[in-house]
Amino acid sequence: MMDLTVDFKGVSKRYAHFNLDNINLELPTGSIMGFIGANGAGKSTTIRILMGLVHQDAGTVKVLGHAMPAEQAAAKMDIGFVSEDMRLYAAATLHWHMNFVSSMFPKWDQAYADKLIRRFDLKPQQKIKGLSHGQRVKAALLLALARKPRLLVLDEPTTGLDPVARREVLGELMAVLADEDRTILFSSHNTQDVEQISDQITFIDRGKIIDSDNKEAFLDQWRRLRLVLPQNSEVPRLPGVIDVGGSGRLPVLTTNRFDPGMLTVCQDLGATVQAVDSMTLEEIFVSSVQHRRETVAV
Amino acid sequence: MHSDLVISQTDGRPMYLQIMEQIKLRVSVGEWAAGQEIPSIRQLAVSLRVSVITVKRAYLELEREGVIITQHGKGSIVAPDAGLGPRLHEEELTEHLERAARLGEVLGLSKEELAFRLEEASGRMVDDRQPKEME
């Protein structure tokens, strides 16, 4: 039994105007990782290295036990990859693509493919060039899912989908996870999708991983405290505070190391804790990125 | 398996708490009977379209509270403890009272004023019921 489906150790890649710097990434088998970053943060470069499409300058990458890029041919038999810039043959039909893919991958599941055609509301006889953006994404997903790969790597799978299609796609991704030997890595800037279905979450910004943890830990450790201070007193010093907003006697503290003992500390200092807000993943991501950029910028 | 649980995106509370609350409700009204097998963590995650780790956490907390029992390799069952319904209501009451006490503090109410407000509230409930009983 292999514990990690994806394992990056100290991976770097230098370009003229962009560096991917010392990336460490561990994705346990049987889980979903959401990979979140702004445009140009390094998500796609990381995914290309994972797929062996780009060779790292330093560090080791293991995918499904195979060293990348050296053993990419063996690894790719068991990886399904869907990206936005994926090119299907415009003049061919979805049906033709299904035949083509099934001839190359012995694990192709035709019954599952037929089910996905109905779920995703696709027409096999339609040519790719006549499909909308959303239909193309769903067609590419179908071709990857029906191969039953052990690892699915999806670059922005829900971007440009309408709400109904998005729901179907998220549902199918979760259905994959019903099998504990299968694993998904997906990048997105839709934090709501990531928050809903991910087990592991990784934030990337400017070529560096700024945080990576399981989702429950993320949501548990970040809190916004709204305080009412007595006159002429200072804001209490609490662990993990990365931002102090609000005004004079009504400060709003954002911490990434919340524990309930903090509330007692505040009260002992004479402050009233007016509210303890949990934060959405989007708020957490934005706070992390801003904090990191402020502390790194000179 | 269809679970009938509904997770709200606009409910401010974490998803694992929502899952816990709905399972407790099902147990307290007897819809999920004592000793009955409940969906596995992965099954529930798939049907709710919610991450496995979130459902796992809800199950762990429910187990800690004695609501369910998870047997290794066998899935989970509702704890065969008959007094569960009243106990869950008891916990809910404690939680609401603590919240009321905290709000009282924010509003600067004295203990006596707070107690009086509670008395008033239960008085209103009795008043609401009176006409129906007389009909």
Buried b / exposed e over A58-87, threshold 16 CB at 10 Å, is ebebbbbebebbeebeebbebbbbbbbeee
Chain A residues whose CB is inside 8 A of the B101 CB are none
**pLDDT the model gives residue B85:** 64
pLDDT, averaged in runs of 10, over chain A (298 residues): 86 94 94 91 93 94 95 93 83 95 94 94 93 90 95 89 89 90 90 90 94 92 92 87 89 93 88 90 92 78
pTM: 0.82
Q: At what angle do helices B15-28 and B52-64 cross, to 10 degrees?
A: 50
Whether residues B74 and B89 fall in one domain: no
Residue for token pair 């060779």: A55
Dist CA A217 CA B54 (whole Å):
10
Tell me whether residue B3 is in a domain. Answer: no
Which among B56, B78, B100 is the end of a domain?
B78
* Cβ distance of A174 and B105 shorter than 8 Å: no
Q: Is this complex scored with an ipTM above 0.90?
A: no
Nearest-CA distance from B28 to chain A in Å?
Answer: 26
Asked if B90 and B58 sit in the same domain, the reply is no
Q: Chain B residue with minimal CA distance to A34?
A: B51
- Is B95 found in the same domain as B56? no
Give chain B's domain count.
Answer: 2
Do B65 and B93 sit in the same domain of this protein?
no
**Is residue B65 a part of any domain in this protein?**
yes
Give me the amino acid identity at B91.
Answer: E
Question: Cβ contacts (< 8 Å) between B46 and chain A: which residues?
Answer: 174-175, 177-178
What domain range is B91 assigned to?
84-134
Distance (Å) from the alpha carbon of B99 to chain A's nearest alpha carbon: 12
Query: Is residue B1 included in any domain, yes or no?
Result: no
Name the class of domain A4-215: alpha beta
Q: Would you list the domain boundaries of chain A?
A: 4-215, 223-278
Chosen from A216, A219, A279 to mutate, greatest number of chain B CBs within 10 A: A216
Scan residues 249-278 of A and list those with Cβ closer than 8 Å to B. 272, 274, 277-278
- Do B68 and B40 have their domain in common? yes
Chain B residues in contact with A200 by the CB 8 A cut-off are 53
Within-domain flag for B10: no
B72 and B90 assigned to the same domain: no
Which residues in chain A are contacts of B43 at CB distance < 8 A?
A: 178
| Per-residue pLDDT, A227 | 92
| Nearest-angstrom CA–CA distance, B43 and A81 | 25
Integer Cα distance of B14 and B53 in angstroms: 13
The 3-state secondary structure of A154-198 reads EECCCCCCCHHHHHHHHHHHHHHCCCCCCEEEEEECCHHHHHHHC
Let me know whether B94 and B128 are in one domain: yes
- Last residue within a domain, chosen from B78, B98, B118: B78
Estimate to the nearest angstrom the gap between the alpha carbon of A44 and the chain centroid.
11
Q: How far is A138 from chain B (nearest CA, A)?
A: 18
Q: In A, which residues are within 8 Å of B105 by CB distance?
A: 272
Quick check: B62 pLDDT over 70? Answer: yes
Q: Per the domain annotation, does B101 fall within a domain?
A: yes
For residues B48 and B62, membership in a common domain is answered with: yes
Chain segment B67-126, per-residue pLDDT in tens: 999 887 778 999 887 566 677 778 788 888 988 888 888 888 888 999 999 998 888 877
Residues A183, A31 contacting (CB under 8 angstroms): yes
